[in-house]
Amino acid sequence: MSKRLQALSAQLDTPLLVTNLTNVFYLTGFDSSNAALLVEPGGGATLYTDFRYAESARSVPDVDVQMTKRAMMADVGARLKGRVQFEADVLPYLEWERLSSGAAELVPTSGLVDGIRAIKDDEEVAKIAKAARIADRGFEALTAETFVGRSEREIAWRLRELLHAHGADELSFETIVASGENGALPHAHPTDRIVERGTLVTVDWGVRVDGYCSDCTRTVSTGGLPDKLREAYDVCLAAQKRACANIKAGMTGVEADALARDPITDCGFGENFGHGLGHGVGLAVHEAPRLSTESTDTLEVGHIVTIEPGIYLEGLGGVRIEDLAVVREDGVDLLTSFPKELIEVS
């Protein structure tokens, strides 16, 4: 049995039905749009899928493969017995109803696989580092081009082209390009707004390589800035650097968040930093752990997290600076390397 399946089964006292397809892939390497995995305490796993994936399923080692109807949950539910845990945070209610039509006693749970996934092994770190390098190179090429006079949408599309040219398999999420007032929106979508001189442009981008994601944000200027925007950039940069210099294993997500939040608040921008400091990255671009005022997580060696404070000024603009980092015993190793000092693009 694989180390990942062993690690999960060792934690169980009740069988767990894994229905999150990313978790199924993580545990078995089986990539499918219709699958479930029953993991038994102490060992043993059954992989359920339909006829379309029969051949690839039979090549998965260390699992018993069972074919189901395409409408899987009712079929699987009819085969389960006794107490069975299920991933309550990902199973839709309608699918739960179908699963519960059988005789098993269903026990809701969450985070069992996510906690294992959160700690990356050396191979996973290497894949994410590769994705981050490709993302850096693509963005570096973009900053050599003109921003002013182009639309946010055009810049986002050009970055997509450059990222693929530098080796990305695909984007890990839709790129954010937010200029001027749009920069005050943390999750802005690229629009037809034309980038003007004398403002900030926030670009949040990432790529997927060999199944693993990267995530990075840089904010650049297009010339002389209003004093308030320049101040916001300087404060955000100092806070981000403070967090990067002090985050380490054993620290809670709340404590990590405070490393950046406290200086931003002390400089009068606390109300303008409304999201958490960061999140885990791996097979998904958002996964455990969380770094925020609401986090219940504690950082461990091998976590890969974003460190991304932001300051958003309604009607004026915004700034976010984000690095991707591996948590170590005494600090973090940054995987993103594009400069954070404010650069000017034409």
Q: CATH code at 12?
A: 3.40.350.10
Q: d(Cα 68, Cα 51) in Å, to the nearest integer?
A: 7
Residue 345 lies in a domain: no
Would you state the structure tokens that stand for residue 60, as one six-digit string?
Answer: 């998965």
**Which of 118, 137, 168 is the last residue before a domain boundary?**
118
Residues 229 and 100 placed together within one structural domain of the fold: no
* Dist CA 299 CA 129 (whole Å): 19
Whole-number pLDDT of residue 205: 98
- One domain, residues 206 and 91: no
Domain shared by 175 and 230, yes or no? yes
Say whether both 292 and 321 belong to one domain. Answer: yes
**Dihedral sign of CA atoms 330, 297, 5, 44 in order:** positive
The total number of structural domains in the chain stands at 2
Rounded Cα distance between 71 and 302, Å, is 38
Query: Same domain for 302 and 182?
Result: yes
147 found inside a domain: yes
**Whole domain around residue 149: which residue ranges?**
122-334
Q: Evaluate if pTM is beyond 0.85.
A: yes
The pLDDT score that the predictor gives to residue 239 is: 98
On whether the CB atoms of residues 191 and 229 are closer than 8 A, the answer is no
How would you write the pLDDT of the chain (346 residues) with one tens digit per residue? Answer: 689 999 999 999 999 999 999 999 999 999 999 999 999 998 899 999 999 999 999 999 999 999 999 999 999 999 999 999 999 999 999 999 999 999 999 999 999 999 999 999 999 999 999 999 999 999 999 999 999 999 999 999 999 999 999 999 999 999 999 999 999 999 999 999 999 999 999 999 999 999 999 999 999 999 999 999 999 999 999 999 999 999 999 999 999 999 999 999 999 999 999 999 999 999 999 999 999 999 999 999 999 999 999 999 999 999 999 999 999 999 999 999 999 999 999 9
Claim to verify: residue 184 and residue 99 sit in the same structural domain? no
The answer to the question of residue 9 being in a domain is yes
CATH number of the domain residue 324 falls in: 3.90.230.10
**Claim to verify: residue 111 and residue 27 sit in the same structural domain:** yes
pLDDT at 54: 94
Check whether residue 108 and residue 132 sit in a common domain: no
Does the residue 344 lie in any domain? no
Query: Do the domain assignments include residue 237?
Result: yes
Domain termination site, one of 118, 151, 175:
118
pLDDT (0 to 100) of residue 161: 98
Query: Where do runs of H (alpha helix) occur along the chain?
Result: 3-11, 21-28, 54-58, 72-79, 93-99, 112-118, 122-143, 152-165, 227-246, 253-266
Q: What is the pLDDT of residue 2?
A: 86
CB 219, CB 202: distance < 8 Å: yes
Are 175 and 38 within one domain?
no
Same-domain status, 268 and 138:
yes
